């Protein structure tokens, strides 16, 4: 509905996931949420629950073990959703790029909307990124967005998963 779209920007709820980060960026995110930088003035809440969030805030270079959870959390966020990659590691792999246990950033697995540079990225940058993410959220549709790859349980259930079949139906109808 056209009437409701402006309100997406005013209450972006955040899901924060640490995909093998060194905790530097996580601490900066917490600083941004804390009293000094006060992200709550934009209506941001750190929900910790994928089903109720709009923005997926990922830190870390996606270790081998964390990628399944990353993709699964991404599929559980209802649309419209925006992915924000916080820190050098998450955007490109950073100093870990090319290592055997690391996946060189999250955009191999899920579509990223906002990249935040910095090791560790500052709270000011994170605030800017969330404001930008709110703007992107406003222009997104409610069409189902899929990750690039599936792992583990999600892959085993595969197309029996109702959300993914729904996505297929949408594709089919548009053809």
Partner 1 sequence: MTWIWILLAPLLGGLLYGGERVLRARMQRRQGPPLLQPFYDMFKLLDKRTLIVHAPHALLAVAHFFVLWFTVAAIFLGWNLLYIIFLHLFAQMLLILAGYSVRSPYSHLGANRELLMLIAYEPVLILVAVGFYLLSGSFEITEIMRGGNYLFQMPLLFAALLMIVPIKVKKSPFDVGEAHQEIVGGVEIEYSGVFYEFLYMSRFLEYLFIYSFVFIFGGVSCWLGSVLAAGVFLLVNLVDNATARVRTAQMVKIIYAMAMSLAVVNLLWMLV
Q: Please say which residue, 11 or 159, places its beta carbon nearer to partner 1.
A: 11
Pick from 55, 79, 73: nearest CA to 170: 79
Contact between 106 and 62 under an 8 Å Cβ cutoff? The reply is yes
Q: Which of 35, 100, 160, 175 binds partner 1 (CB under 8 A)?
A: 35
Provide the CB-side half-sphere exposure for 35 (13 A, CA).
0
Residues 49-88 that bind partner 1 (CB under 8 A): 49, 51-52, 54, 76, 78-80
Contact between 12 and 132 under an 8 Å Cβ cutoff? The reply is no
Span of 37-45, 64-72, 84-92, 123-131 interacting with partner 1 by CB under 8 A: 37-45
Pick from 77, 68, 58, 73: nearest CA to 19: 58
Q: Please say which residue, 5 or 63, places its beta carbon nearer to partner 1.
A: 5
Binding string, residues 87-126; x marks residues near partner 1 by CB under 8 A: ----------------------------------------
Q: Which of 93, 123, 133, 144 binds partner 1 (CB under 8 A)?
A: 144
Which tokens in the block code for residue 72? Answer: 């699964």
Q: What is the C-alpha separation between 174 and 67, in angstroms, rounded?
A: 31
Indicate the length of the chain as a whole number: 175
Which tokens in the block code for residue 96? Answer: 């870990």
Summarize as ranges the residues that interact with partner 1 (CB under 8 A).
Answer: 1, 3-5, 7-8, 10-11, 13, 35-36, 38, 40-43, 46-49, 51-52, 54, 76, 78-80, 142, 144, 163
């Amino acid at each position: 509905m056209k009437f409701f779209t402006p309100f997406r920007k005013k209450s972006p709820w955040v899901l924060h996931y640490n995909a093998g980060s060194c905790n530097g960026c996580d601490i900066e995110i917490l600083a941004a949420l804390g009293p000094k930088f006060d992200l709550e003035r934009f209506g941001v809440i750190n929900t910790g629950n994928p089903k109720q969030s709009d923005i997926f805030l990922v830190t870390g270079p996606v270790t081998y073990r964390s990628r399944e959870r990353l993709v699964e959390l991404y599929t559980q966020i209802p649309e419209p959703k925006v992915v924000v990659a916080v820190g050098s590691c998450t955007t490109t792999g950073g100093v870990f790029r090319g290592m055997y246990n690391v996946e060189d950033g999250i955009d191999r697995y899920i579509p990223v909307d906002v990249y935040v540079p910095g090791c560790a990225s500052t709270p000011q940058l994170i605030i800017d990124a969330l404001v930008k993410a709110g703007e992107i959220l406003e222009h997104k549709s409610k069409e189902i967005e899929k990750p690039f790859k599936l792992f583990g349980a999600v892959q085993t259930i595969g197309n029996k998963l109702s959300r993914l079949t729904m996505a297929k139906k949408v594709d089919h109808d548009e053809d």
